[in-house]
Structure 1
């Protein structure tokens, strides 16, 4: 299956470079481009990509607002595209706001081509693109952002009775930034089983993606110490 990508960036040279990198990778194809958030929303509806590769700092409608409109107010037919946000700095507050708006992860603009390809495939598969080394920092920064920058976030349920013990284990590992493959290795499960259980966790908790699951686990006191912490 070929993953269709919509490339969104206000700089033409960046869009061209991204297109060249993406189209040289097997199983990836650029279905269109957009120069701002308004175009991104319109072309996402028209082209129905699997993944929107979204810059966050653009004139007019920003990547944050475009992400919110695509993910939370999807007007088009078919499944909602996954949004993977692009940034220059991994602590950009607007990137974190975009994640809260429903993006499945973020990617640095100086990432290697193979990392970009892997991130796009992971995003298309519903996985969050968050390195374990920055997961805790991400959670800390997002929860400290001013409310005006944040989309409403799901509050933790009074208890975790909606989840089985195994699903809670999966949720904890998702919150630590582990991929499905890593979770499968940790728990002795197949990757397909992990993917199914992650989907059940999201459905039962009413969450959109793994980033929201990580935030939920943090608020529920499940996440524990982040990578590199005692």
Structure 2
């Protein structure tokens, strides 16, 4: 099955290089491009990609705001919103955390290898999440060590702009709606386990785990597994001693 990809980067040479790289792999096809965050929603609606590979720092509207707009304004009658894989040169906690809270499904650096990028695209297209390994625990520690956010609060991005994290806050208040088995799945998601690994741990089939993950994300009102992991650590369902 071919994964349809949209590229979002303000640098022409970067988009050209990525297009050449990805189209050289039979299972990936670049179907659309945008030069800044302002074009993302309209272009995505027109071309319906499976995955959007997006830079963070762009003129007009940055990647974080573009992700937020995409998540909140995507027409429900078009089916699922495209997955978003952030690809940036900036290894900064403020960028990573703001992008993840806005609804990014993964975060890779532009120093990643072509194989790592292709794998990342396939992973988020399959409904899972991916982060550069050294970023994951650092970002979550930032939030576990900080005071819990309040409803309507905002997380500042590196450029000084602010982005809502109310979805994550609201999700923490809905944890009581989860079943015991869904809480177990949430805990394992927070530990970074894949659907296959969760299935093995809980004695379930992989399709059953995929269904449970989708259901718990729906109950919590979250976009992806990364946001779920942040909720699990913030609420104490997962801790660094168990991770």
Note whether the superposition's TM-score is higher than 0.5: yes
Task: Quote the residue 2:26 is aligned against.
Answer: 26
Task: Quote the residue 2:219 is aligned against.
Answer: 204
Deviations along 1:91-134, one digit per CA (max 9) or x if unpaired, are: 34123212111111111111111111111111112211125653
Deviations along 1:152-208, one digit per CA (max 9) or x if unpaired, are: 233355574422222211101111222223323333433222211111111122222
Distance 1:28 1:159, change over 3 A: closer
The number of equivalent residue pairs is 228
Runs of 5+ unmatched residues, structure 1: none
State the SS of the aligned residue for 1:154.
helix
State the SS of the aligned residue for 1:33.
strand
1:153 to 161, 167, 179: 167
Distance 1:104 1:174, change over 3 A: same
Deviations along 1:1-40, one digit per CA (max 9) or x if unpaired, are: 2111101111111111111221122321100111111122
1:172 to 187, 194, 198: 187
Runs of 5+ unmatched residues, structure 2: 157-161
TM-score normalised to structure 2 length: 0.84
Distance 1:89 1:226, change over 3 A: farther
Task: Quote the residue 2:122 is aligned against.
Answer: 121
Task: Quote the residue 2:5 is aligned against.
Answer: 5
Alpha-carbon separation, structure 2, partners of 1:63 and 1:142: 21
2:204 to 174, 186, 189: 189
Task: Quote the residue 2:91 is aligned against.
Answer: 90
Query: Could you tell me whether the CA contact under 8 Å between 1:91 and 1:138 is conserved in 2?
Result: no
Shift, 1:90, TM fit: 3.3
Deviations along 1:46-96, one digit per CA (max 9) or x if unpaired, are: 111111101001111111111111112214733211111112233341232
205-214 or 129-138: bigger deviation: 129-138
State the SS of the aligned residue for 1:7.
strand
TM-score normalised to structure 1 length: 0.88
Alpha-carbon separation, structure 2, partners of 1:220 and 1:38: 34
Distance 1:75 1:200, change over 3 A: closer
State the SS of the aligned residue for 1:211.
helix
